[in-house]
Amino acid sequence: MKLNLLKIILLVLILLGTVTINQADEGMLPLSEIHKLDLKALGFSLDSKALYNPNGVSLIDGIINLSGCTASFVSPDGLILTNYHCAFPAIQRVTTKEQDFMKNGFTALDKSKELVAKGYTVRMIDFYKDVSKEVLSSVKKRMNYEQRTKAIEKKIKKIVVKIEKKYPGKRAEVAEMFIGKTYVLFVYVYIKDVRLVYSPPRSIGEYGGEEDNWMWPRHTGDFTFMRAYVAPDGSSAEYSKKNIPFRPKKYLQVAADGVKEEDFVFVLGYPGRTFRHRTSHFFNYEEKIKKPYIVDLYGSMIEIYEKISKKDRTTEIKLSSALKRLWNVMKKYKGQLKAFNNLKLTDKKRADEKALQTFIDGDKKLKKKYGNILGNIGNLYEEKTKDAPYDFFLSYFTRSSVLLSNAYRVYDASIERKKKDTERSSAYMDRNFSRTKRYMMMGLRNFTPEADKITFKKMLINAVKLKGKYSILPIQKIINKKGVDTEKAIDEFIKTVYSQSKFHEKEYLTNMLFKSTKELNKINTPLLNLVKELYPIYKKQKAKYKQQKGKLDKLLANLIEVKQKFKGTSFIPDANSTLRLTYGHIRGYSPADAVVYTPFTTLTGLIEKNTSSRPFIAGEKLIDLYQKKDFGRFTLPSKNDVPVNILYSTDTTGGNSGSPVLNAKGELIGLNFDRVFEATINDYGWAESYSRSIGVDIRYILWFLEKYGKAGHLLKEMNL
Ligand code: ASP
């Protein structure tokens, strides 16, 4: 009663404008922006040095990029906390029918039992530096657009190679902040031995499965512990028994008492990509052309894979990672398509651009310099729209089958590896080539001939639809056999390929990767012949993309310039997989008319959802603990329950998976893993009203470790 009265008074004060609620702001702030913030006023009780201090130790030293996800160190012995879905490929790789870590979870009772997370790497920021001038100095006036793109790419590669030579063992990346305009060099400490420490069963780590993915209310235990290892002398090294746990400069302190509604929180992480600074033409292309194509393609692949998965447990395990990825993207895109339509986002962009154009046209000088930017971008997207079915086909075709993709990469490598290091495609540069090979080998483990064949066939059938200047001759040659109908001709081709090709065999593949183009040209098999004939088509396509990129980069760089003049402010660059800060509050929202969501879910809600069949299997043990009300010390006092997931108003995207959610003091209170359905659109436009991120409440993780997981040793390691 008292509380309600307080709420009413607060509401009246807000309406009168005498009180303002501290709203979260749009913006994934780069490190370079942190010192400009008035942290106290925003709600932090840390000062900016404690948050980020390039000359000392700060919170940022505890945050890592874990193979594309985010994670954090939570003990002095290199213990890492990240999402279950981020660790899933590692779990899948060590799972077999006999040792089903997916089904049962995984617990290493001591360090000697931890399992290698093959292919996983850790990156931590060492330092960063603006290199825009150096990068752009490579561009000369007389260059055409393709040459421009190539010159910038080459310059970036040169910078990276030089820096990695200067700092052996470190990893350098140049990130494009504003397209075609600003570039920042990041130098990372790089760890190559990562191990699996603890994961819950998949039924918990993914509770609710695809049905609940990108949704609230949510009850998912999306967490896993891993550990980073280095050589005994502290240097970065590949896996070895002799390696020792890495001692991070900083590890996060866990706040076991968690948070409550309206508490201030912030997130540090590596958001992947956002597109907010792109134009209406790009939005239209995404909404009307690209996303519907992918939703359709992935939908049909899911159908194929799911059917084949039912065959047996081994096949199901093999296809699980691919299926998870396809589902995740498809549902996100569906959310984005719905929001594009509901919010009329493309129309809004158009209206903004109209106002900008009026501003430009109103000034002679501006008109001369910037008058045609929007028109030219529009023309480019018209061209891209026409080419779209052809472009999409080519870009997905070589990825659709393990056999084809390996054969293509082998041939590509033979050509690229002959070039000078900085002139090669990035995957074949010396700094990346062993990793590229490792990924190819790792992919073999999941090779499922039935699935591979059917997707390959489906893509060939799709190619039949490409006509006239878009028709792909090497494929037409296979299909157009006199007297044989199309499907039969494709079937025959597939049959020969899969009975002859050995590109799924480790030894053969390794051997082929050593062959020169000349040697490969002498090998006469249907698959390699197809690759050889397709190669010039892909080469032309690459040149076209470079030419388009060069043109667009220049236009977008000028667009940002004039937009800044128009708005009189500077902007935050779109996400680009570099470290960002975002802040907000533990807060619910209203996704639809008459629906209000509150920001905590609980164990009670999890049990309510239980159907004991996928994807809602709570399991006997959890149900038993719940029925005994064995909540222990990690509870949500206001509900006398164990909090499971939380909702908060930060600005996150893919790549923020596994990011720590921190309280005002910088202590860990949650683990970010998702966004709500309405917020999938924030890759294109953020708003406080619908942008909500979802995290696992740290209390659920701790409760789970203590009561369910027999992992008290990890609590101890985290000082709890
Ligand atoms: N769950 C998401 C992902 O798959 C995280 C996000 O996009 O917010 O990347």
pLDDT digits (tens, 9 = 90+) for 582-641: 999 999 999 999 999 999 999 999 999 999 999 999 999 999 999 999 999 999 999 999
Give the pLDDT band of residue 16 (cuts 50, 70, 90).
very low
Asked if residues 661 and 670 have their Cβ atoms less than 8 Å apart, the reply is yes
Give the pLDDT band of residue 7 (cuts 50, 70, 90).
very low
DSSP letter for each residue of 338-403? HHHHHHTHHHHHHHHHHHHHHHHHTSHHHHHHHTTHHHHHHHHHHHHHHHHHHHHHHHHHTTS-HH
656 Cα–ligand 1 center, Å? 7
Q: At residue 17, does pLDDT exceed 60? A: no
Q: Which atom of ligand 1 is nearest to the CA of 214?
A: 1
439 Cα–ligand 1 center, Å? 22
Name the residue at shortest CA distance from atom 7 of ligand 1.
654
Give the number of C-alpha atoms closer than 13 A to the C-alpha of residue 350, restricted to the C-beta side: 8
Give the pLDDT band of residue 21 (cuts 50, 70, 90).
very low
Name the residue at shortest CA distance from atom 1 of ligand 1.
674
> Could you tell me the two tokens for 55?
């000359």
Name the residue at shortest CA distance from atom 2 of ligand 1.
674
Per residue in 432-444, pLDDT (tens digit) is: 999 999 999 999 9
**Per-residue pLDDT, 25:** 60
**Per-residue pLDDT, 407:** 98
Q: Which atom of ligand 1 is nearest to the CA of 679?
A: 8
pTM confidence score: 0.94
Lowest mean pLDDT among 11-25, 228-242, 611-625, 630-644: 11-25
Torsion, CA 581, CA 65, CA 169, CA 236, rounded to 10: 130
Mutate which of 656, 661, 693 for ligand 1 pocket (most atoms within 8 A of beta carbon): 656
Q: Which residues lie with the beta carbon below 6 Å from any ligand 1 atom? A: 328, 652-654, 656-657, 673-675
For the chain, give every domain's residue range.
Answer: 6-121+192-275+574-717, 122-191, 280-557
> Could you tell me the two tokens for 436?
């590229």
- Report residue 227: phi and psi, to 5°: -145, 145
Please give the DSSP secondary-structure letter assigned to residue 214.
Answer: T
Burial class (CB in 10 A: 0-12, 13-18, 19+), 211: exposed
H helix intervals, 191-261: 202-205, 209-212
**Per-residue pLDDT, 570:** 84
- Report residue 439: phi and psi, to 5°: -65, -35
CA distance 207 to 210: 9
Stretch 51-56: mean pLDDT, rounded?
94
| Sign, Cα dihedral of 95, 99, 101, 107 | negative
Q: Which fold has domain 6-121+192-275+574-717?
A: Thrombin, subunit H (2.40.10)
**Mean of pLDDT over the chain:** 94
56 Cα–ligand 1 center, Å? 32
Per residue in 557-572, pLDDT (tens digit) is: 999 999 999 999 888 9
Top pLDDT among 401 and 483 is at 401
Q: Which atom of ligand 1 is nearest to the CA of 694?
A: 8
Asked if residues 59 and 666 have their Cβ atoms less than 8 Å apart, the reply is yes
